[in-house]
Each structure stands twice: as structure tokens, then as C-alpha cells.
Structure 1
Amino acid sequence: MADLSTLGRRVRHFRTDAGLTLEQLGRDVDVAPSQLSLIENGRREPRVTLLTALASRLGVSVGDLLDEAPPSPRAALEIALERAQEGSTYRELGLPALRPTRTMPDDVLRTLVGLHRELDRRARQAIATPEEARRANTRQRLRMEAVDNHVPAIEALASEDVASVGHLGGALTHRTVSLMADRLGLSIVHADDLPHSARCVLDLESGRIYIPPASIPGGHGLRSLALQAMAHIRLGHGEPKDYADFLRQRQDASYYAAACLMPEAAAVPFLESAKKARDIAIEDFRDAFGVTHEAAALRFTNLATVHLGIRLHFLRAGGDGALVRAYENDGLPLPVDVTGAAEGQVLCRHWSARRAFARTTRTTEYFQYTDTPVGTFFEATQTGATEAEEFSITLGVPYEESRWFRGRETQNRAVSHCPDLSCCRRPDTESAERWSGRAWASARVHAHIFSPLPQGTYPGVDDRELYEFLESHAQDSD
């Protein structure tokens, strides 16, 4: 049977064509006009006997009434509007259903249906955010490679802001960061009830930056979070237009924070001195400015090519070998998918980023030379762990640049033929013949890869949770 909306409109169409009112047709088929009205509005399913009687009185076949096609273009628009308003996208808006009247013009109906279709299209597009995120992230990575990961405008702004509070050198203290916030009319507040989907929150109305309680030794990450919040003001960020805009804002904010924590005016002389001594080491750079190993390695990528003339690559990989973050301008053959995205791709087993996990003692960096199809690279890898997983941070350079780095005397060497499958992904012939068809394994699936990001003003942040948090703290400040 056709859906009730279409069936009802077909009954109405043939009734009006026959010049009958509801009362007249109801009298002829022995049914109350109110019951016929419910049928025509798609709210009641007629019995087969009534359907037969209606068809006979209207001079059509039962098949004509049950046809799935709307009886007219107008009816098609009404049905489309009705179905759209029954969907979850419209219901989530909390708006009342709009029933088209006879006097409503067709062009108004077409506009309403068009708006609903656009809402649905955007909702479907939002569901595909992980795919869009990968594409946007790839475009952003390529843009930064084109400028050697260096943004002079942000460097200048960060230098100005750090100098304005009298910072002369060394690690940026929490007090210095607080002074920088004061200059913007902001205060830093530690909150233990942040929205689970947000790392920090900037409340422009109250002039507060909410960050987590100090739970990291030295609070390295907390200084960066506060500086990233300030960056949104200093860089003039507004609500992101799309995911690509959000990603650009986030990267610019992270760049600003790093440039404040490791100011160009202090960092470059430090690194130039290390290069002159042929003793560049990320661990020394890290300790000199009181930041994490990852932050130091990423900051090094901002400065190495422009100021030291060194081309390089950076990798963050999970314990399973999957690439989490990458940058290169030295030709390292990153694994990429058909869209050009590197994130999520599995690194070669022979690369330093993965071999470092095999060490028993991981307190120091692991050094290695790796021969690849495009040349030899020297890499230094530091491993670490979060509550969720292990990870590795790798900083590497082409062989000829290794002379500037500590650890270059290492005897660790590996050969990688990736992306050739025979390198480390295809099993050897003997094992394949021995086990093919004789075993089964259940994959360890990361459930989050099937879930879209929470849809809000800022991708990944739940708007309702965010606003409830702000409301609760606004009341605290009253």
C-alpha cells in the first residue's frame, strides 16, 4: 500500500475532481465526514472494504488510489514538507509543525521544502565530518609545508606580547602568562568541571579563561592552553565558517602559544649555538624552555628551515604504528591514502617511530638511520604514554643534515622499502601458505572512528554542555 500521506491526497484529489464535498462522499460510502478527513490527511488507514467503496464512488480503480505517485505537483510539495517536518533534523529545532493551507502559494511551499532539503544536506555533511576533517587537515599540512611551517606575522605578534610583560628569556612562567592575560582584561580560572569535549573555554562576557586544574608536573600544557585562548582574541578569530576554518584557527592558536613559550628571539640563538657545536638535541631545547618534548619538536619545525637552513620531518605515532600527526619538507615518503591524508596511516615497521617502542629502556631518545627508496634519513625518537595509549615523537632529517645533531654516531640502521607491500605488510610466502584459511582473528576496533564529532559552533564541542558550563560559572561570579 502507498504511504498514508500519498493515499490521503489521492483520495482528496479524486474527490475534488468529482466535485464532491466530504459530507457528500461520506454519505455515499456510509462513513462520517470526520473519518474521511482523517484519511485524507494521512492520519488513518482505511479498511479494504472502504477503499473499494471509495474507488467505486469516485469512478477510479483501487490501484489508482494506491498509486505511490503524488496526484499533483502541489501534493508532492505538501508531502515533502510533511516528511521533512517528521524527520529528526527538524524535530531537534523544537519548532511546531507547519501545515500548508489551501491558500498558501506554491512558491512558498517550494521555498519551505528547499530550506528543509538544505538543512538535511548540511546535517548529512556534518555526519561526514571525519572525512572532511581529513581533507581539510591535508590541505592545511600542504599549506604549511609550502611556507616551511613558519608564519612571520604570528611570530611578530607573540614576540610583542611576551616583551610587553617584561619577559627577558628562559621558560615562560605561569605568572608571566597571567600577566599577558591581564593585559587583555582576562583572568585564568582552574575548573574541574570543564565540558568533557573541551580542553579549555574562553568566556568573553566575564573575561575568564577556564582551564583544567594543575595536574601535570610543571603545568606545561596548561600554559599553552591559556595562551591558545588568548590567541583567539589577538588573532581576531570569530566563529569558524566550516571545518577548514576551525582547523586553521586551531593551528594558528597553537602556533601563537608555542611562539610565546619559545620566543623566536631566544629560541633561534639557542638553536644556532647548538648547530655550531654540532649538538642539536630536542631534549635540550625542551628543557631550556620548560615545555613538553612534543611541543619542542614542533617548535623546532617552525624555526629549523627558515633560520638554520635544515629541512626536516616530524611524526607523532601511536603505539600501534598509526600516524597521528605529521609534517615534512625534506621529502620523507609519508604513507598517504587516496585523498593525500597521512593521519591514520600505518608507518613502516622499520622506521624509528615504531622501532623505538621495542626498547626496554625508554628514558632517553632512540637514534636511527633509515634507508628509504628516496634516500637515507637520520631520526631521533622519544616515546611516552598517556592513560589511553603509548606514543612516539620523532624528529628526523636527511642524512647530510645529521652532522648537526646529537646521536649521529649511532650504529642503529634499518632499511625500508615501503610503500612496497613486501617491505613489512605482506606476510612471507611460507607463513601465508601455512596459515591461509586456517585461522581467524577479531580486530581491535576503535569505536570512535565510527562516530561523528559532536555538532556545535566549534567542531567536536557539544554546544549544550558548553553553554551549561558557562551558565553555571556565570552564576558563581554574580
Structure 2
Amino acid sequence: MATRDSSLDTLGHRIRHFRSAAGLTLDGLGERVGIAASQLSLIENGKREPKLGTLQSIARELGLDLAELLSGEAPTRRASLEIELERAQRGALYASLGLPRVRVTKGTPDETLEAVVGLHRELQRRASEAIATPEEARRANTELRERMREHDNYLPDIERIAEERVRAAGHTSGALTHRTVGIMAEQLGFTLIYVADLPNSTRSVIDIENKRIYLPPASIPGGHGLRSMALQAMAHRVLGHERPESYAEFLHQRLEINYYAACCLMPQTAAVAFLSQAKRDKDLAIEDFRDAFGVTHEAAAHRFTNLATSKLDMRMHFLRVTGDGSLLRGYENDGLPLPTDVTGAIEGQFVCRKWSARNAFDRTNRTTELYQYTDTPTGTYWCATQTGSTDDGEFSISVGVPFDDAKWFRGRETTERAESRCPDESCCRRPSDELAARWAGKAWPSARVHTHTFAPLPRGSFPGVDDTEVYEFLSRHES
């Protein structure tokens, strides 16, 4: 029979409805079917599961087929509301509030019932939104990074799916073209449409009903970005994503769509062949990998993290560092001591001033990569660092490996070398005794506060997205 949480409530309401319609009391129907009125009351209140024989007797006395009595539909709108309220008040969410339960009687107005049930729906909706405090988000991001580290940043299932989709579109070698990306969309039943009025809170919008994927104008600079955005949008459909129910799930989906896009732009078979040959030639270089597949330096560097350990048998690290020295994104499975806070999060932490990720900003000529060896408490590492800039400021991209694996890379002959003792604060975070003696107590800087420090994370299943903007946009383009 049905469980207490599902159809027993509906069954009880149906029995009560048909009993009342037949003009029978609890005692009257109970006497006819051979059970006490108190037992029948428990059945009608969904607190006791009746035997099949009892149900057959009740149906017969009420002039019903058993199937009609057992229908899963509430007999009336009011009964449906009563059932919904009862289930909501039994749930853990309402119990956590410590509030008394509302007892519905015959005298409870329908309007009151509608209002109370509506409040429960809104309570559940808000609780199920993918919202998180900054601390929760950092914890979720840290857990995801650690999980990917355990898998050497490699997801074989997505690699396989992406390779199949790229081959099905007819791509065999070289950079993935916009045309091929369009074919991949068509094979999923979607059309790519470039518009100038995308909602400010979105990078792309999928119209599931009309099978359209809306993207920024095709004329904007950076072809890689448009291809990547289109592939990321398609990835939600290819990978079968549902609306995220938590911030952790939202982050995981974002990681998967970025991974899928990278796999399509730099397919595993071709990418591994290119990198393996470069390794044999002892001429591995991210800039060559970047140019061979027509992507950004960062995309190539990050894709290298997926393949380095699983396919090239080397451990490594990747860093994106802002102009002020803070770590925006990072990955390592080679033991490099990344800076962390007390929760284990790395985002926003300052990397050592001695690392090439920061030294690169001091160079006059930034057109080429900076190669450097760095001695750290966990060993010596070789790094290649390239700088760039966006509207948000300067940044550097670093890819590095332990000393023994530097022999496979271009730039291994560099004489640049530094010593880092971080996380020991005496390395670069604590002023020298001379500077401290000269300026301690004599300086009063005005700190630049990052606005995100105080801002709560955006609410919604898709954090930061304005649903009203999106729906109005879709309505404008529906015809």
C-alpha cells in the first residue's frame, strides 16, 4: 500500500468525502464495514493503512468501485489544500522553525487555507533556491577543487562525450570553427542566435521551448569566447543538467560545462597527440598548444591540467593571479604550497612575491613568457608565466612542474631562480626590521576594500540571474 507521506492522506480524504456525501457518520460507516469509528477516523486522517478487505468493504458500502476509491486525486480543491498543508507541516523545514501546527477544522475559511498553504510554498521555494553565504560558497568551491585534485583534474566521461559530439559534426583537425559549433547545436535540435540585447545578468540564454541558444553579437572581439560560450550552453543539454538545488551543485555544473567546452575546442585525441610529440621533442610550450587550437593562453593552460597527469605522466600546477598578487584560480597535484585560509580555500589569498606569477608583472617586455625556477619548502619548481589584461585589470597565467619534469619544456635552460619560504611570513609578508623601525606607527594607509567582501551571494537557482529580465528577453524574441 501507499506510504504515509504520499497517498494515505489522499485516500483518507476521499473516504471522508464520499462518506459525507452518502450522509453517513463515522459510527454508521464503521458499523457497516465492521470496524470501530475510532479506527475509521485514523484511516480518514491518513494515520493508519487499511487492509485491502477493509477498503473493499468501504467501497462497496459507499457504492464505489475500489479503483475509484483508490484514485490518487484529491476529491476537492479544499481537500487538496488540506493534504498539502498537512504534508508541509510534517516536513523538516517547518519543524525547524519551532512553530505550532495549524489545525484545520470545518470552520476554517478556504481563503485562510489558501493563504497558509501559499506561505508554505514560498517558504519551500526560498529554502530550495541555490543560495549560499560567502563561507558556504568557499567551502563548496574548496571541496570541489579537492575532488578534482583526487581525479588529477580529469573527467573521462565528459572527454568521451565531447569527442563523440565533435566527430559527429565532422571536425577532424585544427581549430574548431564557428561553423562546426553551429552544426553541433543543430545536431542537438538548437539554433544559435546572436543578439545585442542579452540580459545584463547572463552570458547566454537557452530557449528550451523554441530550441534557440542566444549569444552576444558575433562581431564582438575574441572568437574563442563565443565558441566557448555556445559550447557551454550546449553542455547543459548534452550532460542532462537539471536546475541546481544547491550552490555546490551550481558550481559543479559550471565546472562540467567549462570542461566540456574545453574538450570540444581541444579534443583529447588531437590534443594528446600534439602534446605527446612536443614532449618527445622536449619542446612543450603552452603558447604552441594555444596557437595550434586557436584558443586563449588561459584556456590552453587550463586544458593542459586535464591531460598532463592522466596522459603525459607528469604532475603540475596552474595559477591565475591578479595584478595585486591575489590568487583567482589555482590547481596543483605536484605539492606546490598554495596559500590557503583557515578553511582551506585558496581564492583571494596572496601568492608569494618571489613566484614568477608575481615577478612577471615587473618585466618591461611581457610579449614572451617568463621562465623561472623557484625553491620552496616542498621542493624546486619550474614555471612558465604569461601576463595579460582585461577591463578588470592585469593578470598572470602560470603553468609549472617539479624540477625533474622541467626537461620536457621549452625554457628549461633559464637562469632565473628565486627562493620562497612561504607560508613563513618572514619570506615576503612581514616587513624587514629596518623598514619596520623606520615606519611603524608613522603610516596610515586607506585600504582598498573589495566590494564582494560585504556583498551576499546572489540568490536564485542560477545565482545573479534576473529572472524578470530573462523572461522579458525571451518574450521579445519569441516571434
Shared fold per TM-score greater than 0.5: yes
Match of 1:89? none
Distance 1:334 1:279 in 2: 27
Match of 2:473? 469
Shift of 1:219: 0.8
1:162 equivalent to 2:196? Answer no
Is the contact between residue 361 and residue 387 of structure 2 (CA under 8 Å) also seen in structure 1? yes
Shift of 1:317: 0.8
> What TM-score, normalized by structure 2, do the two folds share?
0.74
Match of 1:151? 155
SS at structure 2 position matched to 1:286? helix
Is the contact between residue 132 and residue 457 of structure 2 (CA under 8 Å) also seen in structure 1? no
Is the contact between residue 455 and residue 462 of structure 1 (CA under 8 Å) also seen in structure 2? no
Distance 2:440 2:124 in 1: 46
1:438 equivalent to 2:447? Answer no
Shift of 1:452: 2.0
Shift of 1:170: 0.6
Tell me the C-alpha RMSD between the 2 structures: 2.7
1:369 equivalent to 2:340? Answer no
Match of 1:286? 290
Distance 1:332 1:398 in 2: 9
Distance 1:423 1:122 in 2: 47
Match of 1:253? 257
Distance 1:386 1:410 in 2: 29
C-alpha change, 1:282 and 1:364, in structure 2 (3 Å) is same
Shift of 1:453: 3.0
Which of 221, 224, 234 is 2:225 aligned to?
221
Q: Which runs of 5+ in 2 are unaligned?
A: 1-101
C-alpha change, 1:121 and 1:437, in structure 2 (3 Å) is farther
Shift of 1:434: 1.8
Shift of 1:185: 1.0
Matches within 5 A, 1:230-249: 230-249=234-253
Match of 2:212? 208
Distance 1:213 1:114 in 2: 42
Matched positions, count: 374
Shift of 1:112: 5.8
Matches within 5 A, 1:323-334: 323-334=327-338
1:343 equivalent to 2:347? Answer yes
1:268 equivalent to 2:272? Answer yes
Shift of 1:118: 9.5
Match of 1:388? 392
Deviation string 1:403-443 (CA, Å, 9 cap, x unpaired) is: 00000111111111000111111111121122121111111
Is the contact between residue 131 and residue 463 of structure 2 (CA under 8 Å) also seen in structure 1? no
Distance 1:435 1:141 in 2: 40
Residue identity matched to 1:346? F
Distance 1:432 1:223 in 2: 52
SS at structure 1 position matched to 2:147? helix
C-alpha change, 1:218 and 1:446, in structure 2 (3 Å) is closer
Match of 2:303? 299
Deviation string 1:259-305 (CA, Å, 9 cap, x unpaired) is: 01000110101000000000000000000000000000011111110
Distance 2:388 2:439 in 1: 35
Is the contact between residue 353 and residue 381 of structure 1 (CA under 8 Å) also seen in structure 2? yes
Is the contact between residue 129 and residue 246 of structure 2 (CA under 8 Å) also seen in structure 1? no
C-alpha change, 1:267 and 1:442, in structure 2 (3 Å) is same
Match of 1:171? 175
Is the contact between residue 127 and residue 452 of structure 1 (CA under 8 Å) also seen in structure 2? no
Is the contact between residue 454 and residue 462 of structure 1 (CA under 8 Å) also seen in structure 2? no
> What TM-score, normalized by structure 1, do the two folds share?
0.74
Matches within 5 A, 1:177-192: 177-192=181-196
Residue identity matched to 1:242? S
Distance 1:112 1:467 in 2: 28
Distance 1:256 1:388 in 2: 26
Distance 1:312 1:147 in 2: 13
SS at structure 2 position matched to 1:326? strand
Residue identity matched to 2:329? R
Distance 1:228 1:303 in 2: 20
Is the contact between residue 371 and residue 384 of structure 2 (CA under 8 Å) also seen in structure 1? yes
Distance 1:125 1:188 in 2: 29
Match of 2:202? 198
Distance 2:118 2:170 in 1: 57
Matches within 5 A, 1:389-428: 389-428=393-432
Deviation string 1:116-174 (CA, Å, 9 cap, x unpaired) is: 79949967997753222111111110011101111111011011001101111110000
Distance 2:131 2:430 in 1: 34
Distance 2:346 2:412 in 1: 27
Is the contact between residue 178 and residue 227 of structure 2 (CA under 8 Å) also seen in structure 1? yes
Residue identity matched to 1:208? R
Residue identity matched to 1:429? D
Is the contact between residue 171 and residue 288 of structure 1 (CA under 8 Å) also seen in structure 2? yes
SS at structure 1 position matched to 2:320? strand
Residue identity matched to 2:299? A
C-alpha change, 1:118 and 1:181, in structure 2 (3 Å) is closer
Distance 1:381 1:418 in 2: 19
C-alpha change, 1:144 and 1:127, in structure 2 (3 Å) is closer
Distance 2:250 2:463 in 1: 7
119-128 vs 255-264, which deviates more? 119-128
Distance 1:441 1:124 in 2: 43
Shift of 1:247: 0.7
264-273 vs 188-197, which deviates more? 188-197
C-alpha change, 1:250 and 1:165, in structure 2 (3 Å) is same
Match of 1:450? 454
Distance 1:125 1:223 in 2: 30
Residue identity matched to 2:368? T
C-alpha change, 1:184 and 1:118, in structure 2 (3 Å) is closer
Shift of 1:350: 0.6
Distance 1:167 1:289 in 2: 12
Distance 1:427 1:124 in 2: 48
Is the contact between residue 130 and residue 462 of structure 2 (CA under 8 Å) also seen in structure 1? no
Distance 1:311 1:147 in 2: 12
Is the contact between residue 323 and residue 347 of structure 1 (CA under 8 Å) also seen in structure 2? yes
SS at structure 2 position matched to 1:459? coil
